[in-house]
């Protein structure tokens, strides 16, 4: 099943989770106007690469445990996937992912990403996850080079704002 904008069910579920969190309006934890956690998306050679960033405090306990990540307002999760196909027919494509993050003062650092297998058997999906510490309010610039197996390299550059 494909979401209206061509997103997989998993990405649609993540978007719904983020929208629900924003609707809660729980004081300083709610995203400020202009804050976005929408995925950055690039496609080439039949492979779609998606990269999402969100504070780990917004993950449910179950998801944080599954990802092996501590929930914190000062930690941000980078989630990268490479997929071939769409909707229920979407399959993971192994990839080499190189990620860097920089602040607005130009301080740049490499992010270490690890493979994360979600699901079992033939339906298992492969994601790449890593975390970065933030000192909100902060704007971070993410620069990713993703080389999916059997497809051209893709580069994603995007900026995200984080608020206390």
In a domain, 1, yes or no: no
The conformation of residue 33, written as its DSSP 8-state character, comes to: T
pLDDT, one tens digit per residue, over 92-117 is: 999 999 999 999 999 999 999 999 99
Angle, vertex CA 139, rays to CA 82 and CA 42, nearest 5 = 20
Residue listed under structure tokens 């960033």: 53
Among candidate residues 126, 124, 92, 97, the one with its CA nearest the CA of residue 110: 97
In a domain, 4, yes or no: no
Tell if the pTM clears 0.85, that is, is over it.
no
In a domain, 30, yes or no: yes
Concatenated DSSP letters of 89-138: G-EE--EEEEEEEEETT--EEEE--EEEEESSGGG-EEEEEEEEE--SSE
In a domain, 75, yes or no: yes
Give the bridge partners for 75, in sequence order: 133
Domain boundaries, position 138: 9-162
Q: How many separate domains does the chain show?
A: 1
CATH number at residue 99: 2.60.40.3340
pLDDT, one tens digit per residue, over 5-50 is: 444 444 433 433 333 333 333 323 334 444 567 899 999 999 999 9
pLDDT, one tens digit per residue, over 124-157 is: 899 999 999 999 999 999 999 999 999 999 999 9
């Amino acid at each position: 099943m494909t979401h209206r904008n061509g997103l997989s069910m998993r990405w649609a579920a993540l978007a719904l989770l983020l929208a629900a969190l924003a609707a809660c309006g729980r004081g300083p934890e709610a995203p400020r106007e202009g804050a976005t956690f929408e995925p950055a998306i690039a496609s080439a050679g039949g492979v779609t690469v998606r990269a999402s960033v969100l504070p780990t405090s917004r993950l449910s306990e179950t998801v944080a445990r599954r990802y092996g990540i501590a929930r914190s307002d000062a930690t941000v999760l980078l989630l990268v996937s490479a997929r071939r196909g769409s909707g229920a027919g979407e399959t993971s494509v192994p990839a080499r992912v190189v990620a860097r993050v920089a602040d607005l003062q130009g301080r740049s650092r490499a992010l270490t990403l690890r493979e994360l297998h979600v699901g079992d058997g033939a339906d298992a999906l492969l994601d790449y996850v890593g975390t970065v510490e933030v000192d909100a309010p902060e704007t971070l610039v993410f620069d990713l080079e993703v080389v999916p197996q059997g497809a051209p390299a893709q580069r994603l550059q995007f900026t995200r704002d984080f608020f206390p």
